[in-house]
Copies of this chain bind each other. A is one copy, B any other.
Amino acid sequence: MRFLRRFQRGELRLTRIEAFSDGVFAIVVTLLVLELKVPELHDHGSASELGAHLLELFPKFLSWLISFVIVCKFWLNHHHILGLARHADYAMVWLNSIFLMFQSFVPFPTAMMGEYPTNPVAVTGFGVVMAFNTLLFVALQAYILRNLLKPELAGTQDPHFVRKSFVGVGSYLLGAAAAWFSVHLAFALYMLTPLFFIVPPASPAEKAGEATEEA
């Protein structure tokens, strides 16, 4: 207990945590492109040979695009949730670090899926890693909402928020399962899932505002 309490100590400024996190996010999205290797040609000047090789790279382009959108979505929601915290404590720093650890892992399953788009292990692996990343984000989010929420925001957050986040976990796992029947279906699920979370949830107040506007 004494050990656990140590983690709730510390009033860390959020600025450096954000700077460190932004650095990791920025590097992850930029490293993704390193997997796109320039194809080797027999005839350096041949347009048709290079064109054919670029078409073969299509699964890599697609994996890169899917991962980029997913990481940006995580970045945006990370931005949103850290904006709700009044400060950080050590537990939050470590939840954040573990989340970032598996964000920085993303280039590996992305490269694997891009290299072997018809291999169910590769396509499943991508979904499992993304589901695990979502879980880690949910944990960070739940901890902030319960322990570090700015006092003036108390009661404005959707109480079902954390539960809703499991939709993402489920959807990535569904894609991971689908990979064993149809990799195309898995790719489609991976592309669709981030779209549900492309905008952070509105607070009940914002929702009420929207409903009024619409009426």
Indicate if the CB atoms of A90 and B38 lie closer than 8 Å: no
Residues of B within 8 A of A7 (CB): 199
Whole-angstrom distance between the Cβ of A98 and the nearest chain B Cβ: 8
Does chain B have a CB within 8 A of A153? no
Inside 8 A of A104's CB, which chain B residues have their CB? 29-30, 32-33, 68
When all copies of this chain in the complex are counted, the total is: 4
Contact with B along A102-143 (1 / 0, CB 8 A): 001101100110011011111001000000000000000000
Residue of B nearest to A106 (CB): B33
CB of A124 to closest CB in B, whole Å: 8
Q: Is the CB of B45 within 8 A of A9?
A: no
A2 to B207, CA, bound (A): 11
Of residues 1 through 49 on chain A, the ones whose CB sits less than 8 Å from some CB of chain B are 2, 5-7, 9-10, 12-13, 16, 18-20, 22-34, 36, 38, 41, 44-47
Q: Does A174 contact B (CB under 8 A)?
A: no
Does A157 belong to the interface (CB within 8 Å)? no
| The one of B13, B20, B65, B116 that contacts A75, using a Cβ cutoff of 8 Å | B20
* A-B contact list, 9 entries, CB within 8 Å: A6-B199, A9-B202, A10-B199, A20-B26, A23-B25, A38-B108, A50-B112, A68-B97, A90-B199
Interface residues of A, Cβ cutoff 8 Å to B: 2, 5-7, 9-10, 12-13, 16, 18-20, 22-34, 36, 38, 41, 44-47, 50-51, 54, 65, 68-69, 72, 75-76, 79-80, 83, 90, 93-94, 97, 100-101, 104-105, 107-108, 111-112, 115-116, 118-122, 125, 198-200, 202, 206, 210, 213-214
